[in-house]
Amino acid sequence: MFTERHTRSRPPTSSSLSKRSRTTPSRSSSSSSILRTLVNWFIIVLITNLALSRAVTQSWTWGHEGKWSNPRTIRDLLFPSPPLTLSESQLALHDGSKPSQYPLYIAIDGDVYDVSDGGMRNYGPGGAYSAFAGRDAARAFVTGCFKTHLTHDLRGLSEGDLEIVENWKSFYAKHAKYRYVGRVVHPPIDPSTPIPEPSTLGNNFTSTACPSFFATFLANPRFKTCAPFSLLLTTSTGFFQAERAPYGLLPYVLNASCTASQEECTGLMDSLAAKIQQQNTCGPDLAKGNPLAVEALNGFRSYRLMREAGCQLSNTTGRFCFAEASAKTNPSDLYYYYLPEGTSLPSGATPDCDACTQNLLAVYARYATNTTLAISKTYASGRTAAALACGPNFAPLVATSTAGGKSAASVTVAFDTRITILAAGLGILGPLLLAT
């Protein structure tokens, strides 16, 4: 026993130390060599990837423009600026009229966002939504009324309406280019002052004939039964709320639209598309580019196309493809459903290369040569983005025809305000949605 313990505690000999000293540097040198090789290969791959991205997409990130690929986001994270506190008069200076002195700001429910980067075309002077610049127009984000609801006064709105306000705030906070800068301080609202009056269709038309036409077709039971996806998609805040429950309420709404008689509904939409262009209905408003009338006309014309697009089912899950797109964290697939409405893809949109997206583009390709449809103007950009992400054979290449027929009606529409046109918040298509 003593001998065994004594042997175990015996110190190493000089020869064993010599062997260890010879082997240790060798192993260390080998590990360092492998590490250097890996680092070198990583640098080579990184530089090659950046060069290819720049050559193919004219950007360093393969066209991706997420929040974290924006250098300003990184700068703000490393060197944060204290949040601003603005008065209403100070906020008004940021309306885009003097961009060199004052960044372009909008506010919603007190939160102020800088939209100078990428937002000048829409929110700056002459932009389709310049009414939002330099003020807190939270109520108009819900109701879509740009005449009497450009105010932060949210009194009288429903719980669902207030949730929409929160959705918009989340949209701006998470936007790749817009950024939160602080708060605007409003004077207290006198509770004795009247609540802003509900918007009416008459506020947005140049004549009484067009709103009368709208009131007639919206009250038509046949129209309500059709629940046209082409109009619900861009004009109903109720549908916007349903999108937030992609596997709850939304499938029921889509099912109502997809099970309506295709023959009867197609005939009705074709008839409405012809009537809305007449001089004794909305012809004068269409000639002036009234966005409400233009949206309605495009919705009537694209009924067949949008029915096919919205009623597609996933080959793997059996769910509506639109519902699955609404549930995804990446909104690019959802953006593709707005191409037939005349809305181009946002920069950097990269779709998933799945069967739903491929089948959707195949549907669009069949209609893209019809110049009376807005898809004839937007299909090419959608296909290009898909080809970059999924390969050149992912979607059909279509040469848009310019022969014959009237061209598609057009109106400037931005994704960040896409639900404020036509009946957004006016209670016109919301009840229609709930009735289905």
Rounded Cα–Cα distance for residues 175 and 183 (Å): 18
Residue with token string 């492998």 = 34
Rounded Cα–Cα distance for residues 246 and 252 (Å): 10
Provide the token pair at 174: 């998470």
The residue among 206, 151, 162, 146 whose CA lies nearest residue 421 is 146
| SS3 of the chain: helix, strand, coil, percent, to 5 | 55, 5, 40
The 10 Å Cβ neighbour count of residue 77 is 9
Give the CA angle between residues 283, 289, 295 to the nearest 5°.
85
Inter-residue contact 278 to 286 (CB < 8 Å): no
The residue among 362, 432, 364, 376 whose CA lies nearest residue 404 is 376
The residue among 117, 122, 89, 86 whose CA lies nearest residue 103 is 117
H or E, element range at 212: helix 209-219
Cα dihedral 162, 167, 169, 174, rounded to 10, equals 170
Bridging pattern class, strands 84-87 and 111-114: unpaired
The residue among 99, 158, 100 whose CA lies nearest residue 133 is 99
The 10 Å Cβ neighbour count of residue 307 is 21
Provide the token pair at 394: 């992912």
The residue among 155, 161, 154, 149 whose CA lies nearest residue 430 is 161
Give the CA angle between residues 270, 276, 277 to the nearest 5°.
100
Residue 133, beta-bridge partner list: 106
Q: What are phi and psi of 425, to 5 degrees?
A: 75, 0
Residue 21 identity (one-letter amino acid): S
H or E, element range at 85: strand 84-87
Rounded Cα–Cα distance for residues 278 and 206 (Å): 15
Q: What pLDDT tens digit does each residue of the chain (436 aa) get?
A: 444 444 445 555 555 545 555 555 556 667 778 888 888 888 888 888 777 776 665 556 655 555 555 666 666 677 778 999 999 999 999 999 999 999 999 999 999 999 998 778 778 887 767 889 999 999 988 877 777 889 999 999 888 788 888 888 888 888 778 889 999 999 999 999 998 876 655 556 777 889 889 889 988 889 988 989 988 876 654 555 555 555 566 788 888 899 999 999 999 999 999 999 999 999 999 998 888 888 899 999 999 999 999 999 999 899 999 989 888 877 888 889 989 988 878 777 889 999 999 999 999 999 999 999 989 999 998 999 999 999 999 999 987 644 333 445 544 333 333 333 333 333 333 333 333 3
Please give the model's pTM, rounded to 2 decimal places: 0.53
CA-based torsion, 276, 281, 286, 291: positive or negative? negative
Give the Å distances, CA to CA, from 167 to 171, 239, 385.
Answer: 6, 14, 27
Bridging pattern class, strands 179-185 and 84-87: parallel
pLDDT in tens, 96-130: 999 999 999 999 999 999 999 877 877 888 776 78
